[in-house]
Amino acid sequence: MSLKRRLDGVVPPELLEKVPTSFEVIGSRAGAVAIIEIPPELEPYKYAIAKAVAEMNKHVRAVLRKVGGRSGEYRLYSYETLIEGPTEVLHKEHGYYIKVDPTKVFFSSRDQTDRLDVARRVGEGERVLYLFAGVGPYAVAMAKFAKPRVIVAVELNPWGFKYMVENFRLNKIKNAVAVHGDVAVVAPLFKRKFDRVILTLPLGAYRYLPLAFECLESGGVVHFYHLGREEDPFSEAAEIVKNHCPECRILERRVVRDYAPGVYKVRLDVYKP
């Protein structure tokens, strides 16, 4: 039963169309947290909505309402707690585990298909640099589904670094190195050291694209993430790539997922000759 149908008779008919059609669940059978966006018109019904969300997934122990966009030094969402419960969870996807607290470090379960797609593009023996790594989910996926020589994952948020180290341990990963530091400081230390660089941050990653190219050997690939409008999702990202590396070639354009109404998170796979 959909969330809207569950709330029929609770939320007035004229407001039912405002009820979200989806929400995110992070975690697994041991416990999960649900994250939902509720428009201001439904403010009086937010606790009823949260209760309905929890009833739809028996593993949900906490329900959070997303408030505003990502902000601050670590680009985190702010949340209002609608149902109190543990927010540190163990999330399972594709057979591996990610330990995370979404109130302390950014993580999206909705990127799991993209994680698998990137992992399957990594060649045997490659050296991979993973910038803005958060809790390290792409590193875990790559280590599980490819055979890179080494993955160096860089994260500034101390909670992200803590969970990344824990996730490498949980998944018995031996070929990944977690680095706690600022990408702007760490990346210049790795000039021409890597075959692949991953820039998963869609907000502002373009400012670090020149650094990413500098870290590549000739013939390397950057996975560059950006936001694009629905009517032409790739043009701005492609223009940024062209401005920073005219000789580079875009191998693939991919819509990762919707990000906001009329806005997509996109990925360009860029080859540096």
Q: For residue 169, how many C-alpha atoms fall within 13 Å in the half-sphere facing its CB?
A: 7
Is 116 in the same domain as 77?
no
Judge if 184 and 262 occupy the same domain. yes
CATH for 227: 3.40.50.150
- 123 and 46 share one domain: no
Examine the domain organization and report whether 21 and 114 are in the same domain: no
Are 143 and 205 within one domain?
A: yes
Residue 20 is part of which domain span? 3-87
Residues 120 and 152 in one domain: yes
Are 198 and 136 found together in one domain? Answer: yes
Q: Which of 197, 186, 173, 183 is nearest to 245 (CA)?
A: 197
Q: How many domains does the chain have?
A: 2
Looking up residue 64, the CATH number of its domain turns out to be 3.30.300.110
Q: Is residue 46 one of the residues assigned to a domain?
A: yes
In a domain, 182, yes or no: yes
* pTM for the whole structure: 0.94
Query: CA 102, 106, 111, 117: dihedral to nearest 10 degrees?
Result: -130
Single residue among 56, 87, 118 that ends a domain in this structure: 87
DSSP 144-192: HHS--SEEEEEE-SHHHHHHHHHHHHHTT--SEEEEES-HHHHGGGGTT
Asked whether residue 102 is assigned to any structural domain, the reply reads: no
Note whether residue 32 is domain-resident.
Answer: yes
The helix (H) or strand (E) run that includes residue 243 is: helix 235-244
Residues 69 and 132 in one domain: no
Residue 44 within a domain: yes
- The tens place of each residue's pLDDT in the chain, 273 residues long, gives 699 999 999 999 999 999 998 999 999 888 999 999 999 999 999 999 999 999 999 999 999 999 988 877 788 889 999 999 999 999 999 999 999 999 999 999 999 999 999 999 999 999 999 999 999 999 999 999 999 999 999 999 999 999 999 999 999 999 999 999 999 999 999 999 999 999 998 888 899 999 999 999 999 999 999 999 999 999 999 999 999 999 999 999 999 999 988 999 999 999 999
Nearest 10 degrees: Cα torsion 135, 139, 142, 143: -100
**Assigned domain for 93 exists:** no
Cα dihedral sign, 73-79-85-88: negative
Res 194: pLDDT = 98
Does residue 117 sit in the same domain as residue 249? yes
